Structure formats: structure tokens, C-alpha cells
């Protein structure tokens, strides 16, 4: 989890869509879901040419920050973070509780005169980070994972640790040194030697960042202990974080790929962080000390939104609905869908079929036939192009063949833009192809009444009348592995009975 993203890098432009994106999709999802614990750009927005910054379509409510004249770097960074993560999320009870916790942490810090501010972001991603200015940011997705006040205090204390240690500055200086070494190596040595030095530099940066994470962890545990919170809250949250990663990658055969990704990761492994957090907490006292604040925390998050914001696209089973763009789409039954930055993607459990849906800007003067032949589809079989009307909208379908994969492509003109739907399969049978065509033909505009009926999922609280978690999980408003999600969100091990009369988090419509 990026509980450490103290230095932000502006995103590069979005590449032009091609079949290579879908070929990489299966491998990508075998490692992790999209946008997992990472900054999210505006979701499923126009993708032709450079990515359109979300600040051009402000997600920040009118009560959010506005500026005039020349902005300082800190102010510009704050506004950029807010726009990148879907805007500010407003919940009076939640904000009040976070501010109360932050005030205790600030008072217990070694520099109580430092002013800290926490902002709640409207993103389902599990993320938290800080700017050198003392601005802390926490996503509502992260709040859904924590189970008491000491856990969320540990998250904020970790970020305060990054600010206090000036990790953003040191990381930036280290990056400059590694870049200089690479440039020199490329100039005065062989290309192969330059690549070796560059790889060494990346490993040095990864190690350097892992050191920062562990340092911030130690700082955070000590700080929440001094502030009167349970110092073991940090290890409990890290354990929940690890379970959330496992939940997302469950049943995905990705061991080798995951190890290859982790070696370049800027974070130490979660088990390693948990072990260190427990050791640091033991130096403060035995388990049972400090404030948990479970009931106050549950009250604070009761009723907040969970998952995707319908305005930016929302998944319900195999149905994807986008309120802002005004459409809905049904994928085949066995696809698991996820709304990512700039696209909706999905795969089947076998990883042998995949789907991508995005929106691009295409001039109204360009016909569907002309557009499908512009070269964005690699391996297009031009004889397969069929012009169709799809639910009253201009469209076309086609076939393609590339790198051992078979593709069924569909395009639909929607409100001055074009939706692109592309399926990939290792083996394309007539039955499978027909399922893909039927799915493409499900694409339709949302009526005014339908738009109003689309709602976010909500976090709710339920009191357990029995010890059976499975019976409660059946009430979850999710269709995919509701029991696993219920156990993960509540930090409960499988098979462990619930506390009768205890309150637990539930996802409802």
C-alpha cells in the first residue's frame, strides 16, 4: 500500500489504444487488479491522445479549494492530488473523527507546532500519503479496510513520519543521483554496461524506499503509543492490508510474476512490516494497552460510500454502468469486471478470455467504417467489418487476429464520442464469438430514470445475533465472494465465530 507516496509524479500521456493493451491485460490481472493501491486518473474518460486531466472536469465539490493568481507548489500539489483521486469526499462525522485523531497525534509528536491537515478523498483505492507541507490524504477505500481508531491513527502517524523525516526530499535527491549515474554510463561506456548500472540504480532506489517505509512504520507505532492509542493497531491494519491484496489476487496463478514485480517494489513485504510493527509495539508494552476506539470509528464510517462512484462508472456483477457518460453494458456471465483508469477491463477465471471497454474522441465526420480501418486495431480482418445499428446508435463490429489471439471488436457512437469494446480469446469458437457479439449489442444509452436509480454501495453496520459469519455475509450487496469480502473488511479469520451483539461492517445498496 502506498502509505508513503510523499513525492508525486505527474502522469504520462495515455497511449493510443491497440490490441497490445489487451494482450497485456491477462498478464496484468494475473498480478493484481487495476488501480490497486495506486493513484487513479479520471476513470473511463476519453483516451485518444494525451490523457485529459481530471481538473478539466472538476470532481471537487463547490466547497473544495479554489485559487486565484499564482499558486505555490504546495497548493498546486494539493489540488493535483484532489483531482487525481476523484475529488474531496464529504462526510461530517468521518472528517470530525479523523481530525480528532490527527489532533492527538500532532500533540504527541516531537514537533507539536507543526500544522497537519487530513483530507478525505473520493476514491475506492486503498491509499494514503502525505505532502511535505503536512497535508495528509486518506481515501475512503482505505477507511473501509480499517476496523478501529488505533488502526487509522497508525496510517496517519506513518504519513507524519514521512513528513518529519523529509523522505520526499531525500528520495528526490537519490533519484537525481541515480539518473546522473545512468546518463554518464550511457555516454562513456557500452550500452550493456549502462543498462547494468541503470538496473543497479533501480534496485538502490527500491532499497532506499523500503528503508523509508520501515522507518515511517517505526515512527508511526511509537507516535500512536505516545498519543494513547493501541500501538498494535499498526500491525492489525497491515494484516488487513495483506488480506486485501490476497483477496484481489485470489485464484490467480501469478507467483512468479508477483515476485518479479515485488523485487522492484518501493515497499517491504507486508509480513516483514507486520513483524517489525509488532516488535516496535512490544517495546511500548504488552497487548491490551492503549485505546482501540472501535465503536467510535465504526460510527464515524457508518453510511460512507463503498467502491466505485457511479459518476465515474460502476460495476454490478457483469453489468457496467457509467452515469456521467450515460451508458450501460453487460459482459458475458463468467467475466469479472473492474473499472480502471481510462477503461473498464475484465477477464474470465481461466484467463483465456479478456475484455476492454474505453471511450475515445472521434470526429462526427468520420464514419464507423472509416474509423475501424484507421489502424488502431492490429491484425484487423477488413472483410469481417460489418456496419450495424446498436440500440439506435451507429456502430460496427469486426474480427482481428494477432500474436496467437483472436479478437472480436465492437464500436458504438455515443454522444459525440465512440465506445470501443474489444474481446480477446485464445481460441474463438462460434459459440464464444456469438456470446461476444451479444455482449457488444447490449451496449445502450441510459434513460433519465435509469440514471437516477444508479446508486453507490454503502458501508453499514450490523449487529450479530449469531456467531455465524456466513449468514451475515449473504446480506452483502456483492455477488463475488461475499463471505471472503465480509471477513476481510472486518479483520476476521475464516472459521472464527463472531461476537454475539458485536457490530460488524456490511456492504449494502
Residue 265: predicted pLDDT:
39
Question: If we measure between CA atoms, which residue out of 429, 457, 423 comes closest to residue 347?
Answer: 423
- Binned at pLDDT 50, 70 and 90, residue 129 comes out as confident
CATH architecture under which domain 310-453 falls? 3-Layer(aba) Sandwich (3.40)
CB 26 within 8 A of CB 351: yes
> Got the DSSP string for 481-495?
-HHHHHHHHTT--TT
Indicate if the pLDDT at residue 120 is higher than 90: yes
Q: Which of 108-112, 153-157, 254-258 is modeled with the greatest confidence?
A: 153-157
Indicate if the pLDDT at residue 69 is higher than 80: no
Cα–Cα distance measured from residue 244 to residue 146, given in angstroms and rounded to the nearest whole number: 11
What is the pLDDT of the chain when averaged over all its residues?
Answer: 77
Indicate if the pLDDT at residue 351 is higher than 80: yes
- Binned at pLDDT 50, 70 and 90, residue 203 comes out as very low
Residue 390: predicted pLDDT:
97
Cα–Cα distance measured from residue 93 to residue 316, given in angstroms and rounded to the nearest whole number: 28
Candidate from 45-49, 312-316, 439-443, 481-485 with smallest mean pLDDT: 45-49
Indicate if the pLDDT at residue 347 is higher than 60: yes
313 vs 166, residue with greater confidence: 313
Element (DSSP H or E) covering residue 340: strand 336-340
- For residue 401, the cross-strand partners are 406
Residue 170: predicted pLDDT:
44
> Got the DSSP string for 108-167?
HSS-TTS--EEEEE--SS--EEE-TTSEEEEEHHHHTT--SHHHHHHHHHHHHHHHHTTH
Give the start-to-end residue ranges of the domains of the chain.
19-255+265-306, 310-453, 457-508
Alpha carbon dihedral 80, 84, 90, 91, in 10-degree steps, equals -120
403 vs 105, residue with greater confidence: 105
**DSSP-based three-state secondary structure for 22:** helix
Residue 75: predicted pLDDT:
78
Question: If we measure between CA atoms, which residue out of 153, 167, 147 comes closest to residue 108?
Answer: 153
Cα–Cα distance measured from residue 378 to residue 15, given in angstroms and rounded to the nearest whole number: 15
Cα–Cα distance measured from residue 369 to residue 288, given in angstroms and rounded to the nearest whole number: 68
What are the b/e assignments for 377-411, b being 16+ CB within 10 Å? beebeeeebeebebeebbbbbbbbebeebbbbbbb
- Grid cell, residue 319, equals 453489468
10 vs 225, residue with greater confidence: 225
CB 161 within 8 A of CB 100: no
Element (DSSP H or E) covering residue 420: strand 417-425
The residue to which cell 463471505 is assigned: 483
57 vs 169, residue with greater confidence: 169
Strand pairing of 405-414 and 417-425?
antiparallel
- Binned at pLDDT 50, 70 and 90, residue 201 comes out as very low
Candidate from 116-125, 242-251, 315-324 with smallest mean pLDDT: 242-251
Q: Which of 9-18, 105-114, 180-189 is modeled with the greatest confidence?
A: 105-114
Residue 359: predicted pLDDT:
93
Candidate from 63-67, 109-113, 192-196, 383-387 with smallest mean pLDDT: 63-67
**pLDDT, tens digit, for every residue of 407-434?**
999 999 998 899 999 999 999 999 999 9
Residue 335: predicted pLDDT:
92
**pLDDT, tens digit, for every residue of 460-473?**
999 999 888 999 99
- Binned at pLDDT 50, 70 and 90, residue 385 comes out as very high
> Got the DSSP string for 49-104?
SSPPPGGGS--S-TTS----SPPPHHHHHHHHHHHHTTSBPP-HHHHHHHHHHHHH
Residue 17: predicted pLDDT:
34
**pLDDT, tens digit, for every residue of 11-37?**
222 223 334 444 444 443 333 344 333
Amino acid at each position: 500500500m502506498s502509505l508513503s507516496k510523499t513525492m508525486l509524479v505527474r502522469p504520462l500521456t495515455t497511449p493510443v489504444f491497440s490490441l497490445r493493451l489487451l494482450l497485456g491485460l491477462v498478464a496484468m490481472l494475473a498480478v493484481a487488479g487495476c488501480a490497486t493501491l495506486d493513484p487513479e486518473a479520471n476513470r473511463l474518460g476519453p483516451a485518444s491522445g494525451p490523457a485529459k486531466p481530471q481538473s478539466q472536469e472538476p470532481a471537487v465539490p463547490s466547497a473544495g479549494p479554489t485559487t486565484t493568481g499564482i499558486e505555490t507548489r504546495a497548493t498546486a500539489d494539493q489540488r493535483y492530488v484532489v483531482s487525481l483521486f476523484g475529488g474531496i469526499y464529504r462526510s461530517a462525522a468521518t472528517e470530525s473523527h479523523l481530525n480528532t485523531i490527527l489532533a492527538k497525534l500532532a500533540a504527541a509528536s516531537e514537533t507539536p507546532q507543526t500544522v497537519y491537515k487530513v483530507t478525505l478523498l473520493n476514491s475506492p483505492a486503498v491509499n494514503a500519503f502525505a505532502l511535505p507541507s503536512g497535508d495528509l490524504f486518506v481515501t475512503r477505500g482505505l477507511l473501509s479496510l480499517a476496523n478501529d481508531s488505533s488502526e487509522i491513527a497508525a496510517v496517519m502517524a506513518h504519513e507524519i513520519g514521512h513528513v518529519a523525516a523529509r523522505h520526499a526530499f531525500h528520495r528526490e535527491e537519490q533519484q537525481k543521483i541515480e539518473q546522473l549515474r545512468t546518463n554518464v554510463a550511457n555516454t562513456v561506456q557500452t550500452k550493456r554496461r549502462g543498462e547494468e548500472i541503470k538496473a543497479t540504480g533501480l534496485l538502490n532506489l527500491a532499497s532506499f524506499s523500503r528503508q523509508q517505509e520501515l522507518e515511517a512504520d517505526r515512527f508511526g507505532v511509537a507516535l500512536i503509543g505516545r498519543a494513547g492509542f493501541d500501538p498494535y493497531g499498526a500491525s492489525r491494519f497491515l494484516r488487513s492490508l495483506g488480506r486485501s491484496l490476497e483477496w484481489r489476487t485470489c485464484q490467480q496463478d501469478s507467483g512468479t510474476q508477483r515476485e518479479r514485480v515485488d523485487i522492484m517494489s518501493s515497499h517491504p513485504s507486508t509480513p516483514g512490516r507486520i513483524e517489525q510493527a509488532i516488535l516496535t509495539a512490544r517495546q511500548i508494552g504488552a497487548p491490551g494497552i492503549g485505546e482501540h476506539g472501535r465503536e467510535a470509528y465504526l460510527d464515524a464510517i457508518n453510511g460512507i460510500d463503498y467502491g466505485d462512484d457511479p459518476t465515474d462508472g460502476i460495476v454490478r456483477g457483469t453489468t457496467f454502468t457509467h452515469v456521467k457518460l450515460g451508458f450501460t453494458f453487460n459482459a458475458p456471465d463468467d467475466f469479472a469486471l473492474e473499472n480502471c483508469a481510462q477503461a473498464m477491463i475484465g477477464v474470465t477465471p481461466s484467463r483465456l478470455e479478456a475484455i476492454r471497454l474505453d471511450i475515445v474522441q472521434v470526429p462526427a465526420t468520420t464514419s464507423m467504417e472509416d474509423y475501424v480501418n484507421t489502424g488502431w486495431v492490429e491484425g484487423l480482418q477488413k472483410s469481417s467489418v460489418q456496419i450495424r445499428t446498436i440500440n439506435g446508435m451507429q456502430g460496427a463490429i469486426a474480427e482481428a487476429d494477432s500474436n496467437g489471439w483472436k479478437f472480436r471488436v465492437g464500436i458504438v457512437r455515443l454522444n459525440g464520442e465512440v465506445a470501443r469494446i474489444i474481446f480477446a480469446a485464445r481460441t474463438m469458437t462460434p459459440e464464444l464469438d456469438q456470446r461476444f457479439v451479444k455482449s457488444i449489442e447490449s451496449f445502450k444509452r441510459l434513460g433519465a430514470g435509469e440514471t437516477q436509480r444508479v446508486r453507490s454501495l454503502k458501508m453499514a453496520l450490523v449487529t450479530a445475533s449469531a456467531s455465524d459469519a456466513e449468514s451475515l455475509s449473504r446480506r452483502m450487496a456483492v455477488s463475488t465472494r461475499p463471505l471472503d469480502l465480509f471477513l476481510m473488511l472486518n479483520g476476521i479469520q475464516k472459521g472464527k465465530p463472531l461476537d454475539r451483539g458485536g457490530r460488524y461492517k456490511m456492504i449494502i445498496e
